[in-house]
Amino acid sequence: MSNVPATLKYAASHEWVLLNADGTVTIGITDHAQEALGDLVFVELPEVGAAFEAEKEIAVVESVKAAADVYAPIAGEVVEVNQAVVDAPESVNQDAYAAWLFKMKPANVADLDKLLDAAGYQAIAG
């Protein structure tokens, strides 16, 4: 089984979410997702300032095998993107939890309660 840190929340669409001390959330794709995709070669991130509804396409990751949409796990506004993963997409393969994709300011922090915990994510990710 892939690495699934207990400190994070998860979306069924294979994004991980970390609540930061300042009330923002950091979001990336899970270890399971990067393993399924294989070697990443391209990452397209959202624009800072853009607002997204939960479960809407927000980014794209492409591997040598396939392209996959990344979905906003919660509604909110993008406040920062990780340019380092755009410059080095393979960093997501090396450590999916260190190579975050973007940060959002949640429209409603209570939406985090709707996400899966580690055990719930492991149950669906198999």
Establish if 123 belongs to a structural domain: no
Establish if 100 belongs to a structural domain: yes
Task: Name the residue range of residue 46's domain.
Answer: 9-109
Of the candidates 27, 19, 1, the residue with the CA atom closest to the CA atom of residue 119: 1
The proportion of the chain whose per-residue pLDDT surpasses 90, expressed as a percent, equals 96
Establish if 118 belongs to a structural domain: no
Establish if 51 belongs to a structural domain: yes
Q: Give me the pLDDT at residue 37, please.
A: 96
Question: What average pLDDT does this structure show over 54-76?
Answer: 97
Query: Between 1 and 14, whose confidence is greater?
Result: 14
Q: Long-range contacts: 60-63, Cβ < 8 Å, 24+? A: 61/29, 61/37, 61/89, 61/92, 62/89, 63/37, 63/38, 63/39
Q: Give me the pLDDT at residue 84, please.
A: 98
Establish if 15 belongs to a structural domain: yes
What is the count of structural domains for the chain?
1
Question: What is the enclosing helix (H) or strand (E) of 16?
Answer: strand 15-19
Which pTM was predicted?
A: 0.96
Residue 46 confidence class, pLDDT cut points 50, 70, 90: very high
Question: What average pLDDT does this structure show over 97-102?
Answer: 98
Q: Give me the pLDDT at residue 35, please.
A: 95
Question: What average pLDDT does this structure show over 1-11?
Answer: 90
The domain that holds 46 is classified in CATH as 2.40.50.100
* pLDDT exceeds 70 at position 1: no
Q: For residues 51 and 38, is the Cβ–Cβ distance under 8 A?
A: no
For the chain, give the mean pLDDT.
Answer: 96
Q: Give me the pLDDT at residue 126, please.
A: 78
